[in-house]
Structure 1
Amino acid sequence: MKELQKLVSGLNKSGALNGFLGGVAGGGVSSLLSGKKSKKTGKKAVKYGALAAVGGLAWKAYKQYSEQSQSASQHRDSQAYEQAMAKRSHSHRTFDFQPASMPEQSFEQVVEDDTGSGQLLLMRAMIAAAYADGHIDETERQKIFAQVETMTLSVQEKAMLFDELRAPMGLSELVSAVPNAQTGIEVYAASASAIDLTQTVSLQYLQALANQLCLPRELVNSIHQQLDTL
C-alpha cells in the first residue's frame, strides 16, 4: 500500500490533509502521539504515510475526549449518546465509544492490518467525502486516475480505487463496512480531512456520518480541534 498519500493529496480540498502530508514528510507526525513512541511512529509514517497521521490524530482526539468525560457536561453528552444508540436499535451495527476503553494500539492496528483492509477503508472514506460537495470534475478525476496508476498497488487494489472514484460508496455502505469503534473514529477523521469544511453540503455530510457512526458530540469536537492544530 505504498504511496497512498499521493492519492490522499489529490483528494484533499480543505488543505488540512496537506498539513498531514507535510508533517509526515518532515517527521512531524510523531507529535500526534506520545513522545515515548516517537521513533516507532516515525517508521510508521514512512510506511503508511498520511494514513498513519490520520490514526494518530484519531487517537489524540479520543484521548482528549476521554479526559473530558469526567466533567459534568460530558456526562450530559453521554446521556445524549445513549439516546442516539437507542434510536439505532433497529440496526445490528452499534459502536461503543466509552471513554478510556480503547488502547492506543487498537488505533494503530487499523492501518497496520496485514490485509490492508483498514487502509483501503480509510481511502474509500476520503473518496466518498471528497465527492460529498460535488466539486470533483472530470479533469480532477482524470488527474486522480493518473496518480493511482503511478502507485505501487496491486491490480486488485487499483481496480477497487478506480471503481470508488467512478462511483463512490454511499454513506450507509461506508458505515456498514466499519468493523469497530476505533475504525469509526478514524473513518470520521479521514473524511473530515478530505472535505471542504467551508461548504454547507460538506458539513451536512459529516453530521450524517457522525450520526450513523453514533459518535458522541464531544468526540466529534475533539477530532475537529485536532484538525485545527495542523
Structure 2
Amino acid sequence: MNLGSILDSLMANQRNQGSFGGRPGQPGMGGMQGGMGDLASRIPGGMGGLAGGALLSMILGRGAGRSAGGSLLKAGGLAVLASVAFKAFEDWKAKQAPAPGQPANLPTQPPAGSGFHLDEEKDKEGNEMGLALVQAMISAAKSDGHLDGEESIRIQEQIQQLGLGNEEKGFLLDLMAKPADAAAIARLPRTKEQAAELYVASRIAIGDVNTPEERAYLDRLVALLDLPGDLVAHLDTQVDAARKTLAA
C-alpha cells in the first residue's frame, strides 16, 4: 500500500505548477521525487478539485491555525513535514536557541542519510513514513472532537469518491472511524528523528492549540514519544515559522 504517496499527491499542488520555495516544473519546498505527477493524473477530478486539497481541508477543519497548516501541506506535500522537523532537529543538535518570529529557512528536502528523507524511511511497522504522518495528522485533528458525527460521515463519503484502491480506501476509512489515539501514534517511530516528524505532523494538524483537549493530546504525545522539551520548542518554532512564511 502506497498511501503515503497518494496522500502526498492529494495534498500537494501539481508539481509542474511549482511548490513552496520552488519554480514551475521543479521540486520546491518539500518537492517529492518519483512519479507524483503521474499518480496525480490517475486520481479522478485532478488536482484542481477534490484531489486538490478539499479532503485535507475537511480533515483539518476551518480554524485559522489549521487553515495555515493545510495551506502549508498543499504547497509542499508531506515532505514539508520532514523539512520542518529536520531544520528544528539540526538547530537543536547545534544547541542553538529557538528564534520565534524568524522566517523559515528550510531545505527543499532533507539530505539522504539524515533520518528525515521520506523516500528512505520506514516506520516501526515497516510501512513508508508517509503513511505514519497521515495517521498522525488524522489522529491529532480528531483530538478536539470536530471530526465526530456528521463531519466524519461527510469525509468518509468523500473518501469513497476518490478512486483509490480498496486497500487504501479501507485504511483511510478505518482511520476516520477511530478516536484520537496518541499512544498508537507514539508506537510508530523507530528513531528520534521519526518521532520529531510525527510531532510536527500532529502540531500542524491541530494548528493553534485552542482547547484543553488539544493541549492534553499534544502533551501526552510528547511524553509517549519521549521528546525533550527543548527539542519540542525548536519544533514548535519551525512549524510557526513555516506557516508564517507561506502566509507572507
Relative to the length of structure 1, the TM-score reads: 0.65
Establish whether residue 210 from structure 1 lines up as the match of residue 237 from structure 2.
Answer: no
CA RMSD, 1 decimal: 2.7
Q: CA deviation at 1:147?
A: 3.2
Task: Name whichever structure is richer in helix by fraction.
Answer: 1
Correspondence list, 1:1-230, <5 A = 1-2=6-7, 3-5=9-11, 6=53, 7-13=55-61, 14-16=63-65, 18-23=67-72, 45=76, 49=77, 51-68=78-95, 104-105=111-112, 106-109=115-118, 117-151=128-162, 153-168=164-179, 170-195=181-206, 196-229=208-241, 230=243
Maintained 8 Å contact 1:125/1:191: yes
Q: Displacement of 1:176 after TM fit? A: 1.5
Displacement of 1:191: 0.6
Distance of aligned partners of 1:194 and 1:24 in 2 relative to their CA distance in 1, 3 Å threshold: closer
Identity %, equivalent residues: 28
Relative to structure 1, the CA distance from residue 141 to residue 128 in structure 2 (aligned partners, 3 Å threshold; closer, same or farther) is same
| Structure 2 contact 118–130 (Cα < 8 Å) conserved | no
Change (3 A) 1:23 1:164: closer
Preserved CA contact (<8 Å) 2:143 2:180: no
The aligned amino acid for 1:10 is: M
Work out the CA distance in 2 between the residues paired with 1:132 and 1:224.
18
**1:173, 1:211 → 2: CA distance?**
13
Deviations along 1:75-97, whole A, 9 cap, x unmatched?
xxxxxxxxxxxxxxxxxxxxxxx
Cα contact 1:149–1:158 (8 A) shared by 2: yes
Q: Which one scores higher on RCO, CA 8 angstroms, separation ≥ 6?
A: 1
**Do 2:142 and 2:180's aligned partners in 1 also have CA atoms closer than 8 Å?**
no
Kindly tell me: are residues 176 and 124 of structure 1, through their superposed partners in 2, closer, same or farther at Cα, counting changes over 3 Å? same
- Match in the other structure for 2:46: none
**Alpha-carbon distance, 1:15 to partner:** 3.9
Q: What secondary structure is seen at the aligned counterpart in 1 of 2:209?
A: coil
Q: What is the SS of the residue equivalent to 1:179?
A: coil
Looking at structure 1, the residues matched to 167 and 212 of structure 2 have their Cα atoms a distance apart, in angstroms, of 35
Distance 1:125 1:25, change over 3 A: closer
TM-superposed CA distance for 1:169, in Å, is: 5.9
Q: Is the 2:82–2:116 Cα contact (8 Å) retained in structure 1? A: yes
Corresponding residue SS for 2:145: coil
Say which SS state the counterpart of residue 68 (structure 1) adopts: coil
Unaligned runs of 5+ in 2: 1-5, 12-52, 98-109, 244-248
SS of alignment partner, residue 107 of structure 1: coil
Normalised TM-score (structure 2)? 0.61
The code of the aligned residue for 1:66 comes to: K
Unmatched 5+ stretches in structure 1: 27-44, 72-102
Distance 1:4 1:118, change over 3 A: farther
* Cα 1:52–1:151 shift into 2, 3 Å: farther
Q: CA deviation at 1:138?
A: 2.0
Instruction: Number of aligned residue pairs: give it.
Output: 175
